[in-house]
Chains A and B, each alone.
Chain A
Amino acid sequence: MRTREKSGSGDVCVPRPIGIPRALFYYLHPRLWEVFFREMGIPVVVSDPNNRGMVERAGLISESEHCLPVKLLDAHLDFLLDKVDRVFVPRILSLRRGHIACPKLAALPDAMEAQFGDRVEVVTVDVNEGRFPLKEALVRLGRRLDVSRKDAIRAADKACRTMEEAMREASAPSSGNGAGKGFLLIGHPYNLFDAYMAGPVCRKLESLEVAFERIAFDKEIEDSGPLHWDTCGVIYDTLRNINPERWAGVIQLASFSCGCDSISSTIFRGLARNKRIPYMVLTLDEHTACAGIDTRLEAFVDSIGGSI
């Protein structure tokens, strides 16, 4: 596959730009992919952040039974169609040793190829951190795009460093009033760190003047209990060791018809109950009305108000 082509009159090779949908895997490896491609000299077009139009488009074009994050990925790819002629969708099989990713992610590049393959080229790479490190996958991807091994390794190093920083920043505590206990937000990274999905929850918590923090994903898992899914494993490990002195409550942001959440939320609830921490699940779907979320958050904060 040749990805470089002569442009205009000069001898300079300008690689064709690559589109990255700002959905799903974008949040699993924050900033990684765009930095990696840019460092290799490939122009990157990232789709716009989620907005109402994007969500509506997702509902229109996507398979109706997907969970919202996968639907949104469809909408983001659709957005990129007339801007680039190739898009990047990795096949995420595992993010951690001994763990597996959600099975839906394993079929994504093929599903995207099936849906958009006649209009855009789908570039993919297997990410299986249980088997080989992320950097190796990146170098493999670089080689596939005709970038020299040396350049690919350099770009991969830079990209991984940027990602680690981004992950640290993302789970930094909110301002809040800082004095009392706070709330822990848990959920899949693509729900938690997406400003459109988690935004209404965060804004409401801010307006109620309670401190909150998103769960950190950049840590090692000691014990993931019965759960083998990677993100669920991190949450399990965090909840297992959660300190009831520090946290007033746990709020799970689940997406509607998420297979992992349907099983894991009962397990998480059990863990929180053992530590006597109030626990609430908020299910997000494309019918976003903030009134429901507002009411439930107000009630939740009110009901445990005394202990904050």
Chain B
Amino acid sequence: MTALAIEPWGNYSLALAASVECLRVTPWTQRSTTPETLRLGVEASPESACLPFKACTGHFIKAAMEGVEYGVMVNSMGTCRLRYYREAQQKILKDRGLDLFVFGLGYDGFKPPLIRHFDPDVIPFLQCCARARLKTLTVDALEKEVWRVRAIERQRGDATRIIEACIADLDRARTVDEIRAFAGTIKKRFGSVAVDKSRVPLKVGLLGEATLLRNRFLNHNIEEILGGLGVEIRNFFLLGDEMRNILKIGFFSRNSRRTLKRIARPYLKHVVGGHALDSVAHTIRCEKEGFDGVVHVAPSGCMPEVSIRPILHRIGKDMDFPVLDLSFDEHTSHVGVVTRLEAFVDILQNRKRKGSPATRENRSTEVFCPPAAKGAVS
């Protein structure tokens, strides 16, 4: 059976894998980049390309080495260089004598090239889309649950264990009914984690470039580091929301482009490309909603995200709101990331204790200091 390589997208990989089943191909994907695929990608890519490009190229090289014939890559119609990544990767693969054809997801005509090539029947295709959509939304729900529980769990690692088991179960679910049934059990399963309800965790927003937010290997598992420090996070890249935006449904939803544009308008008057506008809007929104700070995550040299960093700094200054920016490339050291996050969380806790203007009145002043936070993250 033909195989199709899909870029690793964190927990969403299984939803993406489900979406190609109707094409009668075997999905070939990983939940996050591995050191080996990253090494392959770094060797093959132009030196100044961004980290997601290198990781994804490495993924395709590895796939080609394992005999996968096809791959699929997002090629946006936007302003970012992501637009050329499909061509660039195809060229790299060809130069290395690897036989893997990369499909783009862009529109050139009515059907995307991928669907035109495999030409699935309409009904199984729609069923498959429905399954993939449902799986995406279920992963969204899982993520939201784990952010909340991880910050207050009594035994470190419980929430992570539960979500791993959930992801494995969700991957096995084949029909819409099975997925629905599974989604119903999520609350109960996370309810089984022993939590300390008296703790009031800090709330931190994670925003920035999508791949970095989702790929746990590339972002050095920032969600778990922060969770381990007793911080409740909100990752602003949820594929369910993003799909709605791309398909332009949910026009009036909280996260529609229109709403975000309106929020960002005082600071950013034009769409930059990528998720730059979202980053600005979500930073402002986090401040309004009583978050304690935000962490802006971007690959080193990212065109849209880096260009709005001065704006994020200004928002931070104007609103007295802590913004930490982290850039990642293949040389980023894990210890460096952990140290910066620990220092950031320390500052946030201090601010909260002293009642800085960023602390909202309606929240308890009691601050949870995790007993085993320092040095325990490995």
Enumerate chain A interface residues (CB-CB to B < 8 A). 63, 65-66, 70, 91, 93, 100-104, 106-115, 117, 126, 226-228, 256-263, 265-266, 270
Whether A106 contacts B271 by the Cβ 8 Å rule is yes
Task: State A126–B270 Cα separation when bound (angstroms).
Answer: 10
Q: In the complex, are the beta carbons of B306 and A263 less than 8 A apart?
A: no
User: Do B311 and A262 touch (CB < 8 A)?
Assistant: no
Contact yes or no, B79 A103, CB < 8 A: yes
Q: Contacts of A257 on B, CB cut-off 8 Å?
A: 48, 300-301
A263 touches B272 (CB 8 A): no
Q: How far is the CA of A70 from the CA of B308 in the complex (A)?
A: 12
Asked if A111 and B308 make an inter-chain contact with CB atoms under 8 angstroms apart, the answer reads: yes
Interface window among B3-11, B81-89, B195-203: B81-89
Contact B84 A106 (CB under 8 A): no
State whether B79 touches A100 (Cβ < 8 A). yes
- Whether B314 lies near A114 (C-beta < 8 A) is yes
1/0 per residue, CB under 8 A from A, across B258-281: the answer is 000000000111111110100000
Quick one: which of B91, B270, B301, B302 contacts A107, CB cutoff 8 A? B270
A227–B79 CA distance with the chains assembled, in angstroms: 11
A266's partner among B46, B267, B303 (CB-CB below 8 A) is B46
Distance between Cα atoms of A226 and B48 in the complex (Å): 19
CA–CA, A203 and B46, complex, Å: 29
User: Bound complex: CA of A65 vs CA of B312, how far in Å?
Assistant: 14
**Interface pair A102/B267, CB less than 8 Å apart:** no
Known: A65-B309, A103-B307, A228-B83. A110 touches B48 (CB 8 A): no
Given A91-B270, A103-B303: A114 touches B48 (CB 8 Å cut-off) = no
- Number of interface residues, chain B, beta carbon within 8 A: 39
Query: Are B48 and A262 in contact (CB-based, < 8 A)?
Result: yes
- Interface assignment of B71: CB less than 8 Å from any CB of chain A: no
A70, A109, A115, A259 interface centre (most CB from chain B within 10 Å) = A259
Judge whether B91 and A111 touch: CB under 8 Å: no
Contact status A108-B267, CB under 8 Å:
no
Which secondary structure dominates where chain A touches chain B? helix
B273 CB contact (under 8 Å) in A91, A106, A227, A262: A106
Bound-complex Cα distance A260 to B315 (A): 28
Instruction: Given the known inter-chain contacts A100-B79, A114-B313, please indicate yes or no for A107 contacting B307, CB distance below 8 A.
Output: yes
In the bound complex, do residue B88 and residue A107 qualify as a contact, i.e. CB atoms below 8 Å apart?
Answer: no
Task: Tell me if B324 is interfacial: C-beta within 8 Å of chain A.
Answer: no
Kindly list chain A residues whose C-beta atoms are within 8 Å of the C-beta of B301. Answer: 65, 257, 259, 262
Give the nearest-CB partner of B84 in chain A: A263
Q: Could you list 11 A-B pairs, sorted by A, with CB under 8 Å?
A: A91-B269, A100-B79, A101-B79, A103-B274, A104-B304, A106-B271, A106-B272, A110-B311, A114-B315, A227-B84, A266-B46
Task: Judge whether B303 and A65 touch: CB under 8 Å.
Answer: no
For the complex, give the distance between the alpha carbons of A63 and B300 in Å: 12
CB distance from A255 to the nearest CB of B (A): 10
Q: What is the CB-to-nearest-CB distance from B371 to chain A, in angstroms, rounded to a whole number?
A: 36
Whether B88 and A263, one on each chain, are in contact in the complex, defined by CB atoms closer than 8 angstroms, is: yes
User: Assuming A63-B310, A258-B48, is B276 touching A270 (CB within 8 A)?
Assistant: no
B residues within 8 Å of A by Cβ? 46-50, 78-81, 83-85, 87-88, 91, 267-274, 276, 300-304, 306-311, 313-315, 327
Tell me how far the C-beta of B262 lies from the nearest C-beta in chain A, rounded to whole angstroms. 15
Q: A110-B308, A114-B310, A266-B88 are in contact. List 12 more A-B contacts (CB 8 A).
A: A65-B300, A103-B78, A104-B303, A106-B270, A107-B311, A111-B310, A114-B311, A115-B310, A117-B314, A259-B303, A262-B50, A263-B46
What B residues does A104 contact at CB under 8 A?
A: 303-304, 306-307
- Chain B residue nearest in CB terms to A261: B48
Closest to A115 in B: B310
Contacts of A227 in B (CB 8 A): 84
* B264 closest partner in A (C-beta): A110
Across the interface, name the chain A residue whose C-beta is closest to B306: A65
With A262-B48, A262-B49 known as contacts, the answer to whether A110 contacts B84 (CB < 8 A) is no
The answer for the CA separation of A260 and B300 in the assembled complex, in Å, is 14
Give chain A residues whose Cβ lies under 8 Å from the Cβ of B314: 113-115, 117
A259 to B85, CA, bound (A): 12
Compute how far the CA of A241 lies from the CA of B314 in the bound complex, rounded to whole angstroms: 46
Q: How far, in whole Å, are A152 and B365 apart by their CA atoms in the complex?
A: 59
Query: Complex formed: what's the CA distance from A226 to B87 in Å?
Result: 8
| B306 & A262 in contact (Cβ 8 Å cutoff) | no
Q: Is the CB of A266 within 8 A of B311?
A: no
Closest B residue by C-beta to A228: B83
B267 neighbours in A (Cβ, 8 Å): 110, 114
- Measured CA separation A256–B46 after assembly (Å): 13
Chain A residues contacting B310 (CB-CB under 8 Å) are 63, 111-112, 114-115
Which residues on the B side are within 8 Å of A226 (C-beta)?
A: 84, 87
A111 near B303 (CB under 8 angstroms)? no
Contact check, B81 vs A262: say whether CB atoms are below 8 A apart: yes
Q: How far is the CA of A112 from the CA of B307 in the complex (A)?
A: 10
A47–B272 CA distance with the chains assembled, in angstroms = 27
Are B49 and A263 in contact, with the CB atoms below 8 A?
A: yes
